[in-house]
Chains A and B, each alone.
Chain A
């Protein structure tokens, strides 16, 4: 294809990408460098149903003047990135320069909101992604071995966790694990411990969210792998059988290598999806024990004291950088592989 043709062929999608991806990310980047104007405060008498008291209020006219002069807000540079709610550079320095060993460092890091969210996000991503793929592959193999007539209904049932809206799925499980719910009450009876609660302990909350994540996303891996299984060449499988390979060896030496490119694709999608984990934290009211980067952004935009756009934008940029770092090794491998193929 000539370069000119290629350009015009790509132009519409390139334009859409610029409009809907590059421009929004650019605006977030700019937003994250600014904080709100200084608010002019005055003390006034405030009277209501409970009597009068002296309280401060914002002088809106004076603040509006400041705002008209600088519509973007006060320039703060990377200040927002370095503050306590994000990378917490000062706090990090204090922790590293004076601590009682790795345990103390970890405990104090978990006390900083960004690192707390990052820790759960990474744990979730790196546990849910491989386990999800393993479970999805196992289910695909099992269903592929079923008699033809029963496949349809079984596939539909297997897909249900993925079809259910994430928030709804999380809420249903949340009510079941409540200490009055069927799972919560059963666990208490089994272990004979009335204080046992999946919602109270941080470790159990993490485990519960991760199990939920695997349950919810495994059908996606299953569907892709199941489709892939239909393309495994039957003559290779048959010759492997003639060579005396048992079922396990056939899976390991024929099916798995055949599905490897597909696995890379599933892995990429799952990594990106899991890194943005959000719904189960809301659904399970789990923010006491587990927060994620996406939850931090939501929390900044949904506060009582107005919306902290700069802070949310900074977390968004950091999340984007995180996704890029996560995907780099996989992308480099794919690029190298495609390079080899074309040579």
Chain B
């Protein structure tokens, strides 16, 4: 009997052992800094499975990660060993040289990775991507059917549909977008401007090229759309946008793919609206043939200022966190780049946006300064108190002042 009990105990011990064995990490400290949204939480839960006697895994999920990451990775040893980044937040780390080249770690431990997951800059692997994201269309099919209109695929079509919905009395504020002054407004400009085929900088340099016909057309389309939005649209961020949509006030919106689960998934506040929603790729604009949406990837980097042992442990733990089963078990959580992922219906709109040739969010070192300038200087135009030409000139002037202070322009 005693033998039997002993056998059970050792079986239990062995039963728990394979979790850490699955991570296959000897020792090290893994400290993760991350943005805070559901899909990243799924990945970090996977990383925490590796926490046992030899390896410690801690994580800080915060929406303030962008202001923390540069100071936290500058100190030696770095406060975090892993930083979850997207194509915009990777740039400040690259600018300061805080990211560890991953070629040897990928060769030793990264057999599960697909080539498309490797972010190479100048031939060096600097980050591993595991999901893609983009803003795309959420349409209330029931309202469109009531008005007898087909789902629009361009912004011009959206304007026409909005006009019909309003004149038929179906919806007073058929449109909504994340136009909150600051980051969101700038992101919407970037989407529209990329869709128009516009560029932000002169080739190979930091000089801005916005004050032109493309920039003007981008702004005018943005303002035409606001005519059909609820007042106060300059305070609506991505979360508030979702609230407006699920409360049933909106017929069409351009919202992040990563928020799909909270809108049409099981956690939706109103199943009837979820039922009536169809998802579509981001619309084209101005006769262009690519969706007016910037493509984003989310992934991770390993800090440069840490010991090789911690770097190895961090990479292995992250490989466990993004192993193929994670994507298979949580197909609704994100549009995964992980190998073997079969995209469910909810991820099709993001992938469709990418397949239709949408352009990635620019990774130039000074794009962050441009984003800030756009967020601050487009507001007067959006309120109708300034011309498009003046707004674009203001953006260029504000950007140039910041770029000079940061050392990108003379």
Contact = CB atoms under 8 A, between A and B. Distances in A.
A55 B363 contact: yes
B320 to A, nearest CB: 21
B379 to A, nearest CB: 4
A238 B233 CA distance: 59
A57 B87 CA distance: 13
Query: Which of A195, A289, A306: most chain B Cβ within 10 A?
Result: A306
A303 B121 contact: no
A178 B180 CA distance: 14
Nearest to A198: B232
Contacts of B272: none
Nearest to B400: A84
Nearest to B407: A36
B401 A84 contact: yes
A52 B27 CA distance: 36
A115 B19 CA distance: 60
A200 B407 contact: no
B66 interface: yes
The 9 closest A-B pairs by CB, nearest first: A305-B368, A60-B97, A304-B368, A305-B369, A44-B122, A288-B181, A197-B231, A199-B232, A36-B407
B103 to A, nearest CB: 13
Interface residues of B, number: 73
Interface string A302-343: 111111101100000000000000000000000000000000
Contacts of B231: 179, 195-197, 199-200
A287 B181 contact: yes
Interface stretch (B34-42, B307-315, B390-398): B390-398
B74 to A, nearest CB: 12
19 contacts: A39-B407, A45-B121, A45-B123, A47-B121, A48-B297, A53-B360, A60-B94, A111-B394, A113-B398, A179-B231, A197-B230, A198-B232, A199-B235, A299-B372, A303-B402, A304-B183, A304-B368, A305-B369, A306-B92
A58 B365 contact: yes
Nearest to A56: B364
A173 interface: no
B20 interface: no
Interface string A124-139: 0000000000000000
A246 interface: no
B8 interface: no
Nearest to A193: B231
A303 B376 CA distance: 11
A55 to B, nearest CB: 6
B204 interface: yes
B404 A83 contact: yes
A71 B266 CA distance: 54
A299 to B, nearest CB: 7
A37 B234 CA distance: 35
Interface string A204-244: 00000000000000000000000000000000000000000
A37 B204 CA distance: 19
A41 interface: yes
B129 A49 contact: yes
Interface in B63-122: 66-67, 70, 87-88, 92, 94-97, 116-122
A178 B232 contact: yes
A45 to B, nearest CB: 7
Contacts of A84: 397-398, 400-401
B371 A304 contact: yes
Interface string B369-410: 111100010011011011000100010011011101111101
Nearest to B382: A288
Contacts of B245: none
Contacts of A48: 87, 116, 118-120, 129, 297, 360
Contacts of B237: 285
A178 B118 CA distance: 44
Contacts of B94: 57-58, 60
B295 interface: yes
B293 to A, nearest CB: 12
A24 interface: no
B405 A80 contact: yes
Contacts of B138: none
A200 B234 contact: yes
B251 interface: no
